[in-house]
Amino acid sequence: MRDFVAVDWGTSSLRAARIDGSGQVLAQRASERGILTVPVGGFPGVLEEICGDWLLESATLCLVSGMAGSRQGWREAPYVACPAGFAEIAQGLSWVEPRRIALVPGLCCELRGVPDVMRGEEVQVFGAMDLLGEREGVFVLPGTHSKWVQVRNGRVQSFATFMTGELYALLRQHSILARTLPAEHGTLEEEAFTRGVLHARETASLLHAAFSTRTLALFGRLPAQALGSYLSGLVIGEELRMRDPAIRSVVLIGSPALTQRYALALRTLGCTSRVLGDQASWRGLWALAQTLELP
């Protein structure tokens, strides 16, 4: 297998890795050149700038996942409908340079007459499957827009998006709660966090539960430095409340700061988790590349 360059090109950043034929990551790079910073027509130049030296050899293959394949990106690689595995994704690749550089399509699914979408997370899920040797299960990707992904027989069956990270930031920075919460994020107060997780489950609506951050402060029942952790527990707890109670174990994929919180919240609710980080993206893109029949 020839050398391979994996690129995860999101809204606000770009990460790239050079990977050898055996799947080993040889080098990594990160840049702030997310798609929002790239003018129309500027995508080939930015890729060249960041990893042109890796792409010198004509035999090198480069797969790009994430928002670079969206309508606002390099070129649209239309969403592939679930259920989808490597075969469907490979078919949906949008080649910007034939047999050299391709954009990986995102996935879409439909539930109750409403579509849902993801771009980039599907690659992490496939990477996690490959790394863990699993072909079934629930994969959770916490973030601005968290994804819960249901996998069966090595294919993504369906998934759901939760605006958890974004809503936490909005409540923390722009709502009435911002007046009560300290500006500094501080370290996680585990007791307050798990109290929030449990209250979210009991209350069954964040619209109501979020107000408790204010009243607990008002009555001196939670110290100021614990309020941010409590609110984080409420919002993550609201996401976790929605899971099928039959799910007793999930795979978490994301940054350590987030997966640590989710693992604690899940444990509080009686659900175990295994955790993966960045390596899932590289592995997913590399594993996808292995399935392509290229000369």
Instruction: List the Cα angle 260/265/268 in 5-degree steps.
Output: 125
- x-or-dash string of contact with a second copy, 90-129, rule CB under 8 A: ----------------------x-xxxx------------
| Residue 232: CB minimum distance to a second copy, A | 13
| Per-position b or e across 146-169, b if 16+ CB within 10 A of its CB | bbbbbbeeebbebbbebebbebbe
24 or 215: whose CB is closer to a second copy?
215
Strand arrangement of the beta sheet that strand 61-65 belongs to: 25-31, 14-19, 4-9, 61-65, 101-103, 94-97
* Among 37, 60, 94, 175, interactor with a second copy by CB under 8 A: 175
Q: What is the DSSP string of 151-201?
A: EETTEEEEEEEE-HHHHHHHHHHHSGGGGTS-SS--S--HHHHHHHHHHHH
Q: Does 264 bind a second copy (CB under 8 A)?
A: no
Residue carrying structure tokens 């001196």: 220
Check binding of 246 to a second copy (CB under 8 A): no
**How many amino acids of this chain bind a second copy (CB under 8 A)?**
39
- Which span (38-46, 90-98, 195-203, 262-270) binds a second copy, by CB under 8 A? 195-203
Structure tokens at 4: 């391979």
Cα separation, 171 vs 178, in Å, equals 7
Q: Which is nearer to a second copy, 63 or 216 (CB)?
A: 216
Q: Does 135 bind a second copy (CB under 8 A)?
A: no
3-class state of residue 117 by DSSP = strand
Give the residue carrying structure tokens 């989710």: 262
199 near a second copy, judged by CB under 8 A: yes
State which of residues 242, 244, 246, 293 lies at the interface with a second copy (CB under 8 A): 242
Q: Is 204 left (phi over 0), alpha (psi -120 to 50) or beta?
A: left
| Position 239 contacts a second copy (CB under 8 A) | yes
Residue with tokens 């070129």: 75
Segment near a second copy (CB under 8 A); pick from 47-55, 87-95, 196-204, 250-258: 196-204
- Check residue 211 for interaction with a second copy (CB under 8 A): yes
Question: What is the rounded CA–CA span in Å between residue 192 and residue 249?
Answer: 24
CB of 73 to a second copy, least distance (A): 14
What string marks each residue from 212 to 231 as x (binds a second copy by CB under 8 A) or -? x--xx-xx-x----------
Binding site for a second copy (CB under 8 A): 112, 114-117, 145, 160-164, 166-167, 170-171, 174-176, 199, 202-208, 210-212, 215-216, 218-219, 221, 235, 238-239, 241-242
